[in-house]
Amino acid sequence: MAAAWAGETELDGLSRLTVGAGLPVRDVAVLRAACRYLAQVGLGLSRGYVEETVLGAPDFARALLANFAARHDPDAADPATAASAAEHLAELLTRTTSLDADRILRGLRDVLAAVVRTNRYQVDATGSPRPALALKIASAQLDLLPRPRPEVETFVCSPRMEGLHLRGARVARGGLRWSERPEDFRTEVLGLVKAQMVKNAVIVPAGAKGAFVVREDLRGLDRAAVQERVAGAYRTFVDALLDVTDDRDGDRVVHPARTVVHDGDDPYLVVAADKGTATFSDLANEVAERRGFWLGDAFASGGSSGYDHKVMGITARGAWVSVRRHLRELGVDPDGPLTAVGVGDMSGDVFGNGMLLSDELRLVAAFDHRHVFLDPDPDPARSAAERRRLFALPGSSWDDYDRSVLSPGGGVHRRDAKSVPLSPQVRARLGVDAEELSPAELVRAVLRAPVDLLWNGGIGTYVRAAEETDAQVGDRANDAVRVTSGELRCRVVGEGGNLGLTQRARIEAARAGVALNTDFIDNSAGVDTSDREVNLKVLLAGVPRAERDAVLRAVEDEVATSVLADNALQARALSVCAAQAPFLLDRHAQLIGDLERHGLDRDLEVLPSEAEVERLRQAGAGLTRPEAAVLLAHSKNLVREELLRSDLPDDPSVAGVLAAYFPRAVRERWPDRVAAHPLAREITATQLANDLVNRVGPGFLLRLEERHGVPTPVAAHAYMVATQVLDLDPVWARVDDVPLAVERLALPELQAATERTADRLLQAHPDPAALTAAAPALAAVVAGLDPAAWLDRPGAAGDRARALQAELAAAGRRRRGRLRRPARERAGPLHRRPRAGHVRPRRRPGPGVRGGGGAAPAGADRGLTAAGAPQRARSGPGRGSPPVRTAGRPGRGSRPAAAVGPGPRRSAARGSGRRVRSAS
């Protein structure tokens, strides 16, 4: 009773174990936490029933806690005692008489056996216990968990809050959100961390995600009081996570005090803002700095000393890069008039910033959880100005929209209204006949509207596949408004928010002709920016705070440019995959098989089975952009892992990759700090993997490995040397700034030239040291070639070079005359850095990759497949578009195109001169 009065425990059924079985309050808290965790993983039994089962087995409870103490109590830890207790538990389980009791007790045993760290035995300076219990669980070893299983998760339990943090790897990052789903917040966060794992392919850490719930009753409290309770729960959550995280003292890893560690060193924990915690980064950093955590205010990105994503508009700008790409490929001017519907309101970061990126945007309808906004024929200039006003108005909603700006028939309607009357203008715009609809029916009509763009900047899953049920989607709050992918009538989907569509819905929509990627592709700019901020802060540790903050502000533009370039190059890589999808199907099937052998679950990732691949083959189809996006991300993650297991990231020949990652002012002023960065290997491997996969596709490395019998790092090394010998970086840079017609001609030539050269290098120099040694002399030979002489050369080779030059020049003139070239995105005065579509990427070194896709192998010629047979003229379902090929990155490393098929090999740049020489 004293502990409950002091707020150290709670009174529930399990409290009887203290009174009736004599178990200490803090030990009962361990059982309570395990029971609560079991409820989150979907045990399917009520909390009361679970408690009664535990109360009916006091001997089992004692043995379970004895085993836990023998493993985790620093004053009593003993492997022999733990083993004996485990045997006793197994014997007690044989005495259970019901299946439910066995499931519950066995589940409790397995959960606590998977705990690798806990703060149960930690105390503060006064000897008091920690305010919340933390159990760090090796969930990858826990068979009772549904898939996907993260590598580790930390469950935090206290009388005032509960929380769960899931990590896909030791070095992982992701946001912490306030959840309002107390019964199943693990389900909520599991879907998010799955998306985060593939989204984080562009950054150093793997994916992570956390969620917490406030257990106090918030009903009747004003907004300030609610915010205070939520902030308090957030602090408790963060503090408990750090309780079971290692620290660093220079190069030495320091384990937490009074903690038995069963999982090795684990000092990297980074968090970020999320739903309900957008302003909490400073709170998290206060906790980290108070504890003296080695990352300091790099622990939580953003905050007063970090990059404000809403001010930068970076997530929306990154997603807009994908939207512009889709529109250009559809032949639509991205800077011209566009009709759109959206999910969200102007106070939100992603929705609000996205709806300010074009003054020509005609937002005809939108909704959030409070209102439905309708403006059937908006005036572009006036509506853009009003959206900008709402964006600047703190806490605005659609109800604040100036009704005088609305077009005839427009309005703003509450979601809790009984019904909404529809004007003739609205009925015509939404394509409905009914004169009134319920709010839920109206939201569905908005989602089905025939417009250019559906922009998702909100929270929730609104589109499922026809074969899926609402229960399978796992978002009960939006069951009433969800539509199927076949009902979509938009041309393009931009996924600024997470999980707006299920993956099956994306695939169905893509096969029906809707242009879209995935959420983890479109909105990756946010995590990319945060990771660059964290790595800059780590590099600048020890620099006076004011000076460091000034440096961060000074390089913010360059950071944003690099981030948006990553978005552009990933989007272009997917365009290559989509345009060549039928030809690349066999390569993609090979890649899926290879990734499966390394842990990919094709059912979970909604990738086609072998039988489905055969059906696609017979239909002359291939993978969609959403499916290719999964392959792209998993290929990058796998290549990064294999590079990290090698010594390639430490090779002096790749030092430029690490340096190019950081802004110019930083790397020039602090070269020694760059070289000694604690995450130098991880940054190098991540950049190499991204540059390589984006440039030459996820199949490049696998093909080199199979032909030459070399491991991934050696194949990647060959790619880098080939790029250096041919001096391709200036060519890749040029291709980043050309019309689509030129890009489609240039990319296959660049990719084929890279692969042919890498092939010959490996034939002649299979040893990595020999590869490095050969590069300078070969580069000197290439530099001595005269492009004019090559173009003047008689015979077939000269004819081909001249023909390619003419084709490229004609394509450039033709496209410029037909469609205005993409300009920098437009934005209102609140956007300090309005650039998204037209990005001048930074230079960086390149690498190579695995799986299906990539350039045509050496020897492939015009009209021939990789095997030299005539290329089959096939196109994807409903898509008669010509092949869209893709390229890479300027400077020392790239990040463009994915798997391209063979087809005609053409020159790699507009016009003649050195660039044509390099590609040829």
Of the candidates 301, 297, 270, the one whose C-alpha atom is nearest the C-alpha of residue 173 is 270
Q: Could you tell me which residues come within 8 angstroms of residue 189 by beta carbon, excluding any fewer than 6 positions away?
A: 164, 166, 177, 179, 209, 210, 211
Give the three-class secondary structure for 255. coil
Q: Report residue 671 CA to chain centroid gap.
A: 30
Both tokens of residue 332? 């639509």
SS3 content of the chain, % helix, strand, coil (to 5): 50, 10, 40
385, HSE (Cβ side, Cα atoms, 13 Å): 7
**419-426 contacts: CB < 8 A, separation 24 or more?**
420/372, 423/376, 425/376, 425/377, 426/374, 426/376
Strands 270-272 and 206-214, bridge-based pairing: unpaired
**What residue type is 530 in one-letter code?**
S
**Whole-angstrom Cα distance, residue 109 to residue 34?**
9
Which tokens is 687 given? 């950049």
Non-local CB neighbours of 69 within 8 Å, separated by 6+ positions: 27, 76, 77
Element (H, E) at 115: strand 115-118
Angle at 59 (CA atoms; ends 53, 62), nearest 5 degrees: 100
Q: How far apart are the first and last CA of the chain?
A: 82
The sheet with strand 270-272 has its strands ordered as: 115-118, 133-137, 152-157, 161-167, 206-214, 172-178, 270-272
Q: Are the beta carbons of 361 and 380 closer than 8 angstroms? A: yes
Furthest-apart CA atoms within the chain: distance in Å: 99
d(CA 381, CA 640): 46
CA atoms within 13 A on the CB side of 732: 35
C-alpha distances in Å from residue 568, one per residue of 384, 521, 882: 25, 10, 20
**Quick check: helix, strand or coil at residue 283?**
helix
**Radius of gyration over alpha carbons of the chain, in Å?**
29
- For residues 363 and 355, the answer to whether their CB atoms sit within 8 Å is yes
- H helices of 784-823, in order, are 787-791, 795-818
What does each C-alpha distance from 618 to 590, 612, 910 come to in angstroms? 17, 10, 38
Instruction: Categorise residue 367: left if φ over 0, alpha if ψ from -120 to 50, beta otherwise.
Output: beta
734 secondary structure, DSSP code? H
Token pair for 603 = 């059912």
Please, are residues 336 and 327 in contact by the beta-carbon 8 Å criterion?
no
- Identify the burial level of 143 via C-beta atoms within 10 angstroms of its C-beta, where 0-12 means exposed, 13-18 middle and 19 or more buried: exposed
Closest CA to 150 of 96, 233, 207: 207
Alpha-carbon distance of 108 to 525, in angstroms, equals 40
136 is catalytic: no
Nearest to 63 by CA among 36, 80, 82: 82
| Contacts of 336 by beta carbon, 8 Å cutoff, 6+ apart | 360, 820
- Is residue 407 within 8 A of residue 425, CB to CB? The reply is yes
Q: CB count, 10 Å around CB of 536?
A: 22
Catalytic annotation, pick one of 209, 310, 537, 636: 209
Q: Which residues are catalytic?
A: 209
